Structure 1
Amino acid sequence: MIRFGVIGTNWITDSFIEAAVKTGKYQLTAVYSRQLDKAQQFGAKYGVDRYFDNLDEMAASDEIDAVYIASPNSLHGPQAKQFIEQGKHVAGEKPLASNYAEVDALISAAADKGVVLFEAMKTTYTPNFLRIRESLPKLGKLRKVYFSYCQLSSRYGKYLNGENPNTFNPAFSNGSLMDIGIYPLSAAIGLFGEPNSFTAQGTLLDSGVDAHGTLVLHYNGFDVVISHSKVSDGLIPSELQGEQASMLVDGISECKSVSLHRPGEGAVDLSVAQEENVMYYEALEFARLVELQQVGHSRLERARIVSAIITQARDIIGVRFPADEQPLV
């Protein structure tokens, strides 16, 4: 049983806890918040006995083996490093850190300490994502891939009203590419590996973060076009086109369904049943890696490639974060 603590008292933390407990491999033993009473209110429903408002004390605690980090993006890297240095396994909510330099430093630190570092990217662990990957040969020679994830932020109205919510504030390492585009990008890297090259475009808000944009990943014989947005809702599925067939994916972030389409034939449903809370699969994988002490696992290379592309793409479109000027030490 993995004794784990959580940083963050929001809905996504609730979702991860629910998923982790359902695997039967975890016991929630600690909750952190900057406000102790908030941590206590959050953890009461789980019967947690240990609460922290001091991260140094939590990282040094012998009551946890691992930590799940769901704080603002800008804090992911520094907090992960803090726990790695104390010999704790880390599951960091996506993005793993603010930029490539931080991700690279975390991977090196985890290797030095012999602990598992893991990016909680739910997409690439779902059963239907695995169905996509294993079904690629059915398409024949791949020619075009279109991945779309556009989701109107619930906080965009506040931004338009002159407020400065975290999700549109560069101080918290946010923006469409970091929060939304990372899902289809991670899916693409998980399926096809590192591209030969890429191009990037983005439209910036006055706050300095990207509102929406497009990535094009260039591979031998095909491109992957990724559309992402935090200021509009997208309704179209994602699509993979081959010379023999095409594949449609509903909801690329969770791969809700997958279907195969051959010319002149009816659609074939390739989907398999998934847990309603798909974070179950990332929790299961993190537990497996911890149990096997698999420190140098292959998922880190995906996280490294994704972070490198996002960091370079931000530079192209002009998005800079305070974290870019502050090396992780």
Structure 2
Amino acid sequence: MIRLGVIGTNWITDRFIEAALASGKYQLAAVYSRTMEQAKAFAAKYDTAECFDSLETMAASEAIDAVYIASPNSFHAPQAKQFLQAGKHVIGEKPLASNFTEVQDLIDVAQQNQVVLFEAMKATYTPNFYAMKQALPKLGKLRKVYLSYCQYSSRYQKYLDGENPNTFNPAFSNGSLMDIGIYPLSTAIALFGEPNSFTAQGALLDSGVDAHGTLVLHYRECDVVVCHSKVSDGIIPSEIQGEQGTLLVDFISECHGVKLHRRGEPVVDLSVAQDENAMRYEAEVFAELVESQQVDHEGLLRSQIVSAIITQAREIIGVRYPADKL
């Protein structure tokens, strides 16, 4: 049983705890918040042994084996590094860090301390993702791929009203590509590997982050278009086109459904049942890596490739974070 600590007391932390406990591989052992009052209020919902308002004290605690980090994006890397150096395994919410340099540094620290570092990218661990991946050979030679995740942010009206919510503030390493586009981009890399090259476009808000944008990943015989937005809603499925057929995928960030359209044949629904809380699968994979002490795993290479692309794409479209200057 993995004794889990959590950093962050928002809704996504609740969802991950729910998923982790449902897997039967974890017990919630510790909660961190900036104030002890907030930590205790959050922990009261669970049978939690310890609460912390000091990251240093929590990292040194013998009460936890691993930590889940769900703080604002800009805090992911420094907090993860602190716990990796303390010999704790780390599962960090996406994005793993603000830029490629930070991601590489975290991987180096994890290797040095022989602990597991894992990016919580639920899109690439669901049963329907694997159903999609297994179906690719049925499409014949791949030619065109369109992966889209566009979701109007619940905080956008606050931004329009003149407030400065974290989700549109470069100080917290936010923006559409980092928060939304990372889902279809990570899916593309998990399916097709590193592209030969890519192009990037984005529309910036006055705050300095991207509101929406497009990446085109160029492979030898196939282009993958990645569309993302935090200021509009997308309702059409993603699509993978081959010479023999096409796959349609609903809600690419969780792969709710997969349908195969082969030319001249009836449509086949390849969807499989999966947990309503898609975070369960990433929690299970992380637990398996920790239990087997598998410090080297394929997820690290994917995180490196994705972070390198996002870092370069931000440079192209003009999104700069304070973390980039460190």
TM tier relative to shorter chain: over 0.9
Q: Which residue is 2:266 aligned to?
A: 266
RMSD of equivalent CA atoms: 0.5
CA separation in 2, counterparts of 1:29 and 1:243? 52
Instruction: State how 1:281-292 maps to structure 2 within 5 Å.
Output: 281-292=281-292
Instruction: State how 1:28-67 maps to structure 2 within 5 Å.
Output: 28-67=28-67
Letter in 2 for 1:152: Y
1:235 paired to 2:235: yes
1:224 paired to 2:188: no
Which TM-score applies when normalising by structure 1? 0.99
Q: Which residue is 1:94 aligned to?
A: 94
Q: Which residue is 2:177 aligned to?
A: 177
Q: Which residue is 2:125 aligned to?
A: 125
Q: Which residue is 2:154 aligned to?
A: 154
Which TM-score applies when normalising by structure 2? 0.99
Letter in 2 for 1:312: Q
Q: Which residue is 1:317 aligned to?
A: 317
Letter in 2 for 1:313: A
CA separation in 2, counterparts of 1:62 and 1:166? 33
Q: Which residue is 1:135 aligned to?
A: 135
CA separation in 2, counterparts of 1:207 and 1:267? 46
1:263 positional shift: 2.4
Q: Which residue is 2:7 aligned to?
A: 7
CA separation in 2, counterparts of 1:98 and 1:168? 14
Letter in 1 for 2:163: E
- Report the 3-state secondary structure (helix = DSSP H, G, I; strand = E; otherwise coil) of the residue aligned with 1:45: coil
Q: Which residue is 1:18 aligned to?
A: 18
1:45 positional shift: 1.1
Q: Which runs of 5+ in 2 are unaligned?
A: none
- Report the 3-state secondary structure (helix = DSSP H, G, I; strand = E; otherwise coil) of the residue aligned with 1:233: coil
- Report the 3-state secondary structure (helix = DSSP H, G, I; strand = E; otherwise coil) of the residue aligned with 2:44: helix
CA separation in 1, counterparts of 2:25 and 2:250? 30
1:265 positional shift: 2.8
Letter in 2 for 1:42: F
1:266 positional shift: 2.5
Instruction: State how 1:64-79 maps to structure 2 within 5 Å.
Output: 64-79=64-79
- Report the 3-state secondary structure (helix = DSSP H, G, I; strand = E; otherwise coil) of the residue aligned with 1:67: strand
Q: Which residue is 2:294 aligned to?
A: 294
1:47 positional shift: 1.4
Letter in 2 for 1:66: A
CA separation in 2, counterparts of 1:164 and 1:267? 47
Instruction: State how 1:102-117 maps to structure 2 within 5 Å.
Output: 102-117=102-117
1:49 positional shift: 2.3
CA separation in 1, counterparts of 2:36 and 2:125? 34
